[in-house]
Amino acid sequence: MSGKVWFITGASRGFGRIWAEAALRRGDRVAASARNPASLADLKKSYGDAVLPLALDVTDSEQVTEAVEQAHRHFGRLDVVLNNAGYALVGAVEEAAEVAIRAEFETNFFGALHVIRAALPLLREQGSGHILAVSSVAGVVASPIVGFYNASKWALEALHESLAQEVEGFGIKVTLLEPGAYATDFSSHSSLRISGAIEAYAELKAQVFEAGAAMEFGDPQATADAILQIVDLEEPPLRFFVGTEGLPIARAAYANRLATWEAWEAVSNVAQGTPKKHRIASL
């Protein structure tokens, strides 16, 4: 029995639910949060006192702080803080309304940030903890028609890369989980928001949806053992592709990026000018 204590957002369905159940089956305890706590009733019924159901809208920073502190008081510590809540806004860059774009960032980026900032003082005080975020292959390589989802995940990636360097000295670990396409309910209306349509993009959108329909989706239940292995490591990776989709895509994308940067290296070097000393303001 590992005896870890988890705090999970979006624990009512998808990866959040699967990983919560995997942790509970092996004897861990879980503060499981969701917008509608009634969706966690069966989890509580099955695992009793090992589950703390929490109502949580991650876009509400005060509610996030209260939930994280309640979980910490209830279980006495937090070992794994997993930001799983999120959804995808579908539409071309020109199509989506600003209010919809901001809403996606409020959940995917700021929601995770709220949880991190609420948990960090507690993790620093106990001198340990593991912060994980569900990013995506879309957080590494961008695609058309989901540019705002890509952007929210790229921002999440950068945040956690900085965070990992800031908290390493406090005994806190950081991992970005980067799944590809899985047969969860991520394609449902609760996880996909379709933006207004501009006819000029109709053909491209049809091609994107057709390609998506032809994809082979992974079995989400198969991910559980890998996630448990990651949280049990003394030195977990900063980034971890969940499934087989990510690495081939990343190899091709980074080869292309390097080739472009190298092709323009001479012009980049000229743009450097003559090196000079420059005083940087002290903190």
Q: Of the residues 47, 87, 149, 182, which is catalytic?
A: 149
Give the type of residue at 155: A
152 part of the active site:
no
Nearest Cα neighbor of 52 from 19, 29, 69, 36 is 29
Q: Of the residues 4, 33, 87, 135, which is catalytic?
A: 135
47 part of the active site:
no
149 part of the active site:
yes
Question: H/E/C letters for each residue in the chain?
Answer: CCCCEEEECCCCCHHHHHHHHHHHHCCCEEEEEECCHHHHHHHHHHHHHHEEEEECCCCCHHHHHHHHHHHHHHHCCCCEEEECCCCEEEECCCCCCHHHHHHHHHHHHHHHHHHHHHHHHHHHHHCCEEEEEECCHHHCCCCCCEHHHHHHHHHHHHHHHHHHHHHHHHCEEEEEEEECCECCHHHCCCCEEECCCCHHHHHHHHHHHHHHHCCCCECHHHHHHHHHHHHHCCCCCCEEEECCCHHHHHHHHHHHHHHHHHHCHHHHHHHHCCCCCCCCCCC
List, by residue number, the catalytic residues.
135, 149, 153
